[in-house]
Structure 1
Amino acid sequence: MTAAALDLTGFIRHENGAARLDLAVEGMTCAACIGEIEHGLQELPGLVGARVNYSRHRLTVNWDERRLTPSAILDALRRLGYRAQPYVAREAEEAEAQRMQHLLKCLAVAGFASMNVMLLSVSVWAGNVSDITPETRDMFHWISALIALPAAAYAGQPFFSSAWRAIRSRHLNMDVPITLGIMLGLGMSIVETMNHAENAYFDAAVTLLFFLLCGRVLDQAMRRKTRAVAGNLAALKAATARRVEADGTLTLTPAEALRPGERVQVLPGERVPADGRALSGESAVDESLITGETHPRDVASGDTVYAGSLNRNGTLTLEVTAAGEATLIDDIERLLEAAQEGRSRYLHLADRAARAYAPIVHGAALITLVVWMLTGHSFHDAAITAIAVLIITCPCALALAIPAVQVVAAGTLFRANLLLGSGDALERLAEADTIVFDKTGTLTVPDPRVANAPDVPADLLAVAGRLALSSSHPLSAAVAREAGRAAPFEAVEEHPGEGVRTVAGGVETRLGSPAFCGFTDHPQPSGADTSLVAVMLGDRRALLEIRQTLRADAVRVARELARQGLSLIVLSGDRPDAVAPVAGQLGIEAWRGGLKPQDKIAALAALKAQGRKVLMVGDGLNDAPALAAAHVSLSPVTAADLTQAQADGVFLGDRLAPVLAAVRVSRRARRLMLQNLGIAAIYNLIAVPLAFLGQVTPLVAAVAMSGSSLLVTANALRARLGADRDARAEPAVTAPPGVAIQEGLS
């Protein structure tokens, strides 16, 4: 479809006097594509800005409509070698699946071809030392060519297209020497077959493709990002709203059509459709997914309410203050996109190695060709030797050095209840020197518990749990967990604002406020983050303290992380008086409470400006932009879906130990990655001089290249036992409780 054929009218938005369009870009294969696209478009007159989000393959362009047209932007992209179309979340997800499917097809074709060509090659090798006739050998070579050439043409597409784009943009990546090695190997094999030579190298070319595609598929599988972000945000937004008209009647209208100044009615159990100010009514509003606040917030006339909040138990009439794309949820989405764009520019270890490696490979092969020609050798001999150098230095070991370690480490972390969502997360985890924790649901267990349950008589606790099963109060869920599998009482009466009661076995039984249950001395909670619920069974009474409790191993993990040299900080959207005791228990002196998403982004930016590399651990929707903005991030499996989508890893269970395992295993994995790169370098230092002197044929070069790949893979597997031991190790308890204080945060 040409640029002129695309109807972009419905996809163009306007902001700050400029037109904006989100485009899905096909053909992006590495981080280098970001600079190529952005710099290539900057030359267009009237372009205001161009930002590439590599993880989502999305390009956002802003332009002056008086000087530039959308078709001109698409034409410029096409000249750069990329195709683009309007970005639609569902289509982007389908495109991601198609890319993975194409890689798997390429891998299957390369595997099939390499097995069959290798069988033919074995027959030729055996025949060369026995009684094979030249005619039979040539036939086997031509059959190999018939299999290898179409297979390489199809299976090599991911490398060929990437190499061509790199050459067009005047830079080198790892796919350039791979493409040259494969093409020259196949070309020289055809020449050798036509000249009835004993050896051809079709097997080396397709086997190399198979090994490299294994690494590419593995890397793509670990990089694949969830595409559910838009759906998760939509689930938090009310689709419709009850608009109050001037005459007091109610009109059901799409939430997107609301305008500031209009009035809306929100019933109990509904999500707030827009940011607004309460005009009438009283209720408790659950904002835990928006702000991170633990307890439902009481709302009365004059209070502010955010879109996406859940109205608990009262009808509210609101005056809309922000609607459409101006609500807090939309601000979170914009922060999220900006943070993702920043992270997508991370230059991976393999990419950095390839930048230095590719010119050396090309230079060595070219020098070999020139030197052999100048010393009187024929072009045929010089070309054979140059190709041997190119094949023996082909970065198969380099391409597998990183993914091989990633597989071992990811498996180890899986056994430690941590699931990684991106391949480069291990590299960034190993670089982290500061850990920023959210409080609610991260350092604490996600749901409130009866903190003093061991001190409450068992029969009273059981009665309280059964009564709670019939209550709609937000705190009742914490008490209901104490009921186990017991059934609720029958004929339970609910007294709004007070509690629930029933008569069980002729005995008055109540659950609710202390006054409702007969307490006359107005007992006070033991802390600012504690709520009191009373239970009464006849003349007996007890107080239940409801609060979020620390994860069982949080104190030990915090101390061990500090002993590992990491600075620990707590940044929470919860009330400061609820954050302080948690930070105190963990020995973390740097903490802040009451933060909005943009406040957390600003705090992370301040840390980054100080040269810190932050591991962010959080679970709320308000943490999602911070998770995306951090150098690396983790979230518990109980986190909001949107939050999990932005994290580099998700840990399971009620313990914090997987965070410690992530630090230990990733640091070990990075050391192994560097070792593997060193092995590849040492291998080249030994093999290249031999190939340059003509002591290594292309066939031997291919075998040596495969051997180096096996060597780096074995080195990665060697770490498994040690990494498992680290992942299972219990945190030390002898470390001092103090941790490094990050100035400017507390």
Structure 2
Amino acid sequence: MCCTDMALAYVEAHAAWSEANTRPSLGRDYAAFLSREPDGATRAAFAVEGVRCAACMNAIERGLAGLPGVASARLNFSDRRLAVTWEPGAEADVETLLRSLKALGFGAQPFAPDRLADGDAVETKRLIRALAVAGFASMNVMLLAISVWAGNVSDMTPENRDLFHWIQAVVALPAAAYAGRPFYEGAFRGLKAGRVTMDFPITLGVVLTLVMSVAETLSGATHAYFDGAVMLLFFLLIGRVLDQTMRRRMRACAENLATLRCERATLADPEGGLRDVPLSELAPGARILVRPGERVPADGVVEHGASDLDQSLVTGETAAVTVRGGERVFAGALNGSGALTVRVTAPAGASLLDEVEGLMRRALEARSRALVLADRATRLYIPLVHAAAALTLVGWLAAGVGWHAALLDAVAVLIVTCPCALGLAIPAVQVVAAGALFREGVLLNDGTALERFAAIDTVVFDKTGTLTLPEPTLSGGIVTPGALEMAARLALSSRHPMAVALVSAAGGVEPFPGAQEAAGLGVRASVDGVELRLGSARFCEAEAEAAAAVAADPEASVICFRAGEGTPVAFPVRQAPRPDARDVVDRLVEQGHRVLILSGDRAAAVASVARRLGIAEWEASLAPQDKIARIEALGRAGRRVLMVGDGLNDAPALAAAHASLSPVTASHVSQAAADALFLGRGLAPVLTVLAAGRRARRLMLQNLWFSAAYNVVAVPLAAAGCLTPLIAALAMSGSSLVVTLNALRARLGTVPTPPLPASRPGMPADTRIA
């Protein structure tokens, strides 16, 4: 890459960034972005630009807390989403709030997921380009620097040495000007607002090093330090790119919830006409039509029709639920087979889906309040570094040395204390541990979760799809092969999930020609003059057989079959426990973890699974807000909860828990809310992530202690004039290398999971959570 190419890349990136940050304003009418809480308070969300560390979060929240009428301001550090609540009756003065944020050095705009996605894409591209430029410059400048070092101890002439220094300057100066922009801008914004951010010592160290290097080159000195400046930017940009990449997970939550939300609805007029209206026009009492394949746009009660709905949002069950007149339906449920006329009971913005979204938002905001190790370690870094460099400069000037020597030693202090090792201490372990977990079938969504996994003492499981396998299977019941084969052939014409279990049990069969599906009831076909039916107990006139099957297996659901006037057959279908679920639970208990089940399923089904797996504490029929309440109660009691769930109704609980894990078969929203996903049919990854978390935390602490010890030794040496900027740069690079090599240990013996123990005898499972 030549200087012209770098200049063009700079102009292109700057234009893209400027376009993203200077788009037409959303206008001064912010009413569309304000929401009214039940208690009369007004709430709004803003996307904040320029947040880099926990100090930024604290500065924003403290700065806005004093504004008139503002009850609370909470910044989600993960996705830079600022939630502001005004007191009941107070005017929501958005303009004043935005001006206050600008005075603090942060740009902001009303939160919109699509605009956030565009801005994140531009910022990610910008950081990757800066990283590429820094990497290119580091390699080339280091090659030139090595030649100078070798020449200084051999026969290189001063003229050749100066030429090599000037070539380094030609490569390093434009590269540092472009690659360092993310840090320079952060430092400038902080200074403009009267704050000193983590970007300031980085900027100061890079700029002073480059200035000193140019001065040394002009004077024909033996050493220049261009390599130290660009290497520093390269290492720090690696961490910045990783941080930006992991932050996309939070945007995925909003995107996945948005796919469940309807923007419009089909309104049925009192005269019988139909018209398409925006969701905002729906009011309680309105009648809407929901066609097959559509999502229910609002909470309501079925007035006419019958159909199968996917209501996993409420129950967590992946099997479709048959609904008919008088039964409740919820926004976001997917209509399967029949048309429904629904009377709306909740206006736009007050549905269960809106409540789930609000629960997730609040849970994620609460989680972001906890500072991770790197944040805590850097809180004292800035004042200590500045004080050390300033004391070095003043001390040497007081001792009578010249400005040149005093400034050289002060720059050496800034370089040797550069937060490179500290910046890599945590991300390096996260990256290596994430790769090791990937090889074990665990996909890490959030690198910071490793620290939380290490602190877990309580494991909460959902039942359906988590402790059990996601696909249903035929269970129990002695059925004649002929009945099963005919039922399976009929099941091939059904879209009901339970029909899959019959097809799997019967093996290779062909569908009956001419089979028809009765909306919300089942499937029928006529074969040799005999009508065959498969579906609900009422549809097959098999209420007695269905009741007997449920009594024999309370955990099972029932699908019935009838051939003509013959005796109907009830097939019990259920989701079998994961093959190693009992052994994993035994191991967790053996390690001292408290194990619970929190499920939206019915009590009989949960009790059966709990008894089989030896889990004494369980609770059933829980709504999403109930699960969050239970997890928060455990948190207040001092417990660190790992939530393992897969359903849409588990997403808020996954976000509220101290850490979370989901199977890869989970709903998209749950996948986005979870800290990690696991592959396969077993639950052993629960043990894997806990072991990996403990190991990663040990390595992180070791890296932080090494970084601290390195500074304790290196700073006095640099302040005493024993280290030139060149040696300081080498020491800084060496510390980063040591930290990286230590992090590589995270892939050695990542998951020391001993053999699972033999299963314990069954335990009574009638203990509910108090």
Provide the C-alpha distance between the structure 1 equivalents of 2:169 and 2:393, rounded to a whole number of angstroms. Answer: 25
**Counterpart position of 1:101:** 125
Counterpart mapping for 1:168-567 below 5 A: 174-225=198-249, 227-293=251-317, 296-312=320-336, 315-452=339-476, 461-473=484-496, 475-484=498-507, 486-492=509-515, 497=521, 500-501=524-525, 503=527, 511=534, 523-525=548-550, 526-533=552-559, 544-567=571-594
1:292-324 Cα offsets, whole Å, 9 max, x none, are 246544545443322222345555443321021
Which moves more between the two structures, 403-412 or 58-67?
58-67
Provide the C-alpha distance between the structure 2 equivalents of 1:315 and 1:348, rounded to a whole number of angstroms. Answer: 50
Provide the C-alpha distance between the structure 2 equivalents of 1:8 and 1:481, rounded to a whole number of angstroms. Answer: 60
Specify the SS of the correspondent of 2:618: strand
Provide the C-alpha distance between the structure 1 equivalents of 2:90 and 2:479, rounded to a whole number of angstroms. Answer: 74
Which moves more between the two structures, 536-545 or 526-535?
536-545
Provide the C-alpha distance between the structure 2 equivalents of 1:81 and 1:731, rounded to a whole number of angstroms. Answer: 54
Unaligned runs of 5+ in 1: none
Provide the C-alpha distance between the structure 2 equivalents of 1:45 and 1:520, rounded to a whole number of angstroms. Answer: 67
Counterpart mapping for 1:77-96 below 5 A: 77-96=101-120
The answer to whether the Cα contact below 8 Å between 1:8 and 1:86 also exists between their aligned partners in 2 is no
**Counterpart position of 1:56:** 79
1:252-278 Cα offsets, whole Å, 9 max, x none, are 433331111222344455433221233
**Counterpart position of 2:185:** 161
Per-residue deviation at 1:561?
A: 1.8
1:355-386 Cα offsets, whole Å, 9 max, x none, are 23333333333333333333333332222223
Q: Does 1:705 align with 2:732?
A: yes
Taking a change above 3 Å as real, the CA distance of residues 6 and 268 of structure 1, as seen in their structure-2 partners, is closer
Provide the C-alpha distance between the structure 2 equivalents of 1:257 and 1:481, rounded to a whole number of angstroms. Answer: 46
**Counterpart position of 2:646:** 619
Taking a change above 3 Å as real, the CA distance of residues 392 and 332 of structure 1, as seen in their structure-2 partners, is same
The amino acid that maps onto 1:527 is D
Provide the C-alpha distance between the structure 2 equivalents of 1:519 and 1:302, rounded to a whole number of angstroms. Answer: 21
Counterpart mapping for 1:39-50 below 5 A: 39-50=62-73
The answer to whether the Cα contact below 8 Å between 1:31 and 1:346 also exists between their aligned partners in 2 is no
Taking a change above 3 Å as real, the CA distance of residues 300 and 487 of structure 1, as seen in their structure-2 partners, is closer
The answer to whether the Cα contact below 8 Å between 2:644 and 2:662 also exists between their aligned partners in 1 is yes
Which moves more between the two structures, 513-522 or 59-68?
513-522
Per-residue deviation at 1:350?
A: 0.9
Taking a change above 3 Å as real, the CA distance of residues 172 and 493 of structure 1, as seen in their structure-2 partners, is closer
Provide the C-alpha distance between the structure 2 equivalents of 1:234 and 1:145, rounded to a whole number of angstroms. Answer: 50
1:170-190 Cα offsets, whole Å, 9 max, x none, are 666543433332222222222
**Counterpart position of 1:731:** 756
The answer to whether the Cα contact below 8 Å between 1:272 and 1:309 also exists between their aligned partners in 2 is yes
Which residue, out of 106, 113, 125, partners 2:137?
113
Provide the C-alpha distance between the structure 1 equivalents of 2:420 and 2:439, rounded to a whole number of angstroms. Answer: 29
Specify the SS of the correspondent of 2:108: strand
The amino acid that maps onto 1:15 is R
Provide the C-alpha distance between the structure 2 equivalents of 1:740 and 1:199, rounded to a whole number of angstroms. Answer: 74
Which moves more between the two structures, 271-280 or 657-666?
271-280
Q: Does 1:717 align with 2:744?
A: yes
The amino acid that maps onto 1:468 is A
**Counterpart position of 1:694:** 721
The answer to whether the Cα contact below 8 Å between 1:435 and 1:616 also exists between their aligned partners in 2 is yes
The answer to whether the Cα contact below 8 Å between 1:173 and 1:351 also exists between their aligned partners in 2 is no
Count of matched residue pairs: 741
The amino acid that maps onto 1:562 is V
1:599-632 Cα offsets, whole Å, 9 max, x none, are 1111121111111121111112211111111111
The answer to whether the Cα contact below 8 Å between 1:113 and 1:151 also exists between their aligned partners in 2 is yes
Per-residue deviation at 1:113?
A: 1.5
Specify the SS of the correspondent of 1:78: helix
The answer to whether the Cα contact below 8 Å between 1:562 and 1:740 also exists between their aligned partners in 2 is no
The amino acid that maps onto 1:446 is P
Which moves more between the two structures, 78-87 or 127-136?
127-136
Which moves more between the two structures, 396-405 or 538-547?
538-547
Taking a change above 3 Å as real, the CA distance of residues 554 and 272 of structure 1, as seen in their structure-2 partners, is same
The answer to whether the Cα contact below 8 Å between 2:542 and 2:569 also exists between their aligned partners in 1 is no
Provide the C-alpha distance between the structure 1 equivalents of 2:701 and 2:458, rounded to a whole number of angstroms. Answer: 22
The amino acid that maps onto 1:731 is L
The answer to whether the Cα contact below 8 Å between 2:646 and 2:671 also exists between their aligned partners in 1 is yes
**Counterpart position of 1:13:** 34
Provide the C-alpha distance between the structure 2 equivalents of 1:519 and 1:594, rounded to a whole number of angstroms. Answer: 24
Which residue, out of 44, 51, 75, partners 1:28?
51
Specify the SS of the correspondent of 1:722: coil
Unaligned runs of 5+ in 2: 1-20
1:510-532 Cα offsets, whole Å, 9 max, x none, are 75578959998774332222134
Provide the C-alpha distance between the structure 2 equivalents of 1:51 and 1:493, rounded to a whole number of angstroms. Answer: 55
**Counterpart position of 1:139:** 163
**Counterpart position of 2:608:** 581
Taking a change above 3 Å as real, the CA distance of residues 242 and 690 of structure 1, as seen in their structure-2 partners, is closer
Taking a change above 3 Å as real, the CA distance of residues 537 and 68 of structure 1, as seen in their structure-2 partners, is closer
Provide the C-alpha distance between the structure 2 equivalents of 1:628 and 1:521, rounded to a whole number of angstroms. Answer: 42
Specify the SS of the correspondent of 2:345: strand
Per-residue deviation at 1:588?
A: 1.5
Which moves more between the two structures, 211-220 or 702-711?
211-220
The amino acid that maps onto 2:744 is L
Specify the SS of the correspondent of 1:626: helix
Which residue, out of 87, 93, 99, partners 1:75?
99
Provide the C-alpha distance between the structure 2 equivalents of 1:514 and 1:71, rounded to a whole number of angstroms. Answer: 61
Which moves more between the two structures, 461-470 or 551-560?
461-470
The answer to whether the Cα contact below 8 Å between 2:611 and 2:762 also exists between their aligned partners in 1 is no
Which moves more between the two structures, 214-223 or 603-612?
214-223
Taking a change above 3 Å as real, the CA distance of residues 227 and 249 of structure 1, as seen in their structure-2 partners, is same
Taking a change above 3 Å as real, the CA distance of residues 40 and 533 of structure 1, as seen in their structure-2 partners, is closer
Q: Percent identity of the aligned residues?
A: 52
Specify the SS of the correspondent of 1:241: strand
1:411-433 Cα offsets, whole Å, 9 max, x none, are 11111211111121111111222
The answer to whether the Cα contact below 8 Å between 1:557 and 1:731 also exists between their aligned partners in 2 is yes
Taking a change above 3 Å as real, the CA distance of residues 295 and 120 of structure 1, as seen in their structure-2 partners, is closer
Provide the C-alpha distance between the structure 2 equivalents of 1:339 and 1:199, rounded to a whole number of angstroms. Answer: 54
Taking a change above 3 Å as real, the CA distance of residues 208 and 24 of structure 1, as seen in their structure-2 partners, is same
Specify the SS of the correspondent of 1:272: coil
